[in-house]
């Protein structure tokens, strides 16, 4: 069992991946997507990541114990930020941009499986924050795979 970049990867039979943690709230918006093998391959090439766990289904199954190849944590982050930036850009005339993000990968995501990128403005009613959002990714079972906080800035 190894710990790489904060993700424990003892394989799919590891009991840490059997428990499904649901999001604590309903999102203000969400976007469903399915990362393809070609996207994963291209992202691997772009980032010079040739690890077999992202490219070789046999290796992922037989050596690591996963059902298929894993989607990169950095690819998940790129998809989250792209979907979020597109959403806030469409919803505001004030030209918002992402200022910072804090996030944590909680569970593996697999190629060719649904993932839902969700976000909700922090606070509610009069206490809602204009610049802080909770953001998370749900796997195909609806469990949390990634969670974080995004802070946006407004350009003039």
Per-residue pLDDT at 24 exceeds 50: yes
Say what the pTM is.
0.81
pLDDT higher at 31 or 88? 31
Rounded CA-CA distance 57/64 in Å is 10
User: Where does the pLDDT of residue 81 fall: very low under 50, low under 70, confident under 90, or very high at 90 and above?
Assistant: very high
Q: Hey, which residues does 143 pair with through a beta bridge? A: 22
Q: What is the pLDDT of residue 21?
A: 83
pLDDT surpassing 60 at residue 80:
yes
Question: Rounded distance, CA 8 to CA 141, Å?
Answer: 20
In the chain, domain spans: 24-154
In this model, does residue 35 exceed pLDDT 60? yes
Cα–Cα distance between 145 and 132 in angstroms, integer? Answer: 20
- Pairing assessment for the beta strands 29-33 and 115-121 based on DSSP bridges: antiparallel
What is the structure's pLDDT at 94?
A: 72
**Residue 14 CA, distance from chain mean position:** 20
- For residue 90, is pLDDT > 70? no
If you average pLDDT over each of 90-94, 116-120, 129-133, which comes out highest? Answer: 116-120
Domain 24-154, what architecture?
Roll (3.10)
Which DSSP string do the residues of 11-64 spell out, in sequence order?
Answer: -TTSGGGTSPPBPSS--SEEEEE---HHHHHHHHHHTT---GGGT-HHHHHHTT
Contact in structure between 121 and 129 (CB atoms under 8 Å): yes
Rounded distance between C-alpha atoms, residue 80 and residue 71, angstroms: 13
Higher pLDDT, 32 or 122: 32
Per-residue pLDDT at 11 exceeds 60: no
């Amino acid at each position: 069992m190894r710990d790489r970049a904060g993700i424990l990867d003892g394989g799919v039979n590891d009991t840490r991946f059997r428990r499904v943690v649901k999001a604590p709230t309903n999102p203000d918006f969400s976007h469903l997507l399915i990362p393809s093998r070609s996207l994963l391959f291209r992202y691997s090439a772009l980032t010079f990541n040739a690890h077999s766990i992202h490219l070789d289904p046999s290796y992922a199954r037989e050596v690591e114990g996963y059902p298929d190849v894993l989607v990169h944590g950095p690819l998940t982050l790129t998809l989250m930020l792209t979907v979020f930036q597109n959403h806030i850009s469409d919803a505001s005339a004030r030209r918002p941009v992402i200022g910072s993000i804090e996030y944590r990968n909680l569970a593996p995501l697999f190629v060719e499986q649904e993932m839902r990128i969700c976000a909700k403005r922090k606070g509610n009613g009069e206490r809602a924050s204009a610049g802080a959002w909770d953001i998370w990714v749900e796997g195909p079972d609806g469990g949390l795979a990634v969670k974080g906080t995004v802070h946006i800035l407004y350009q003039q």
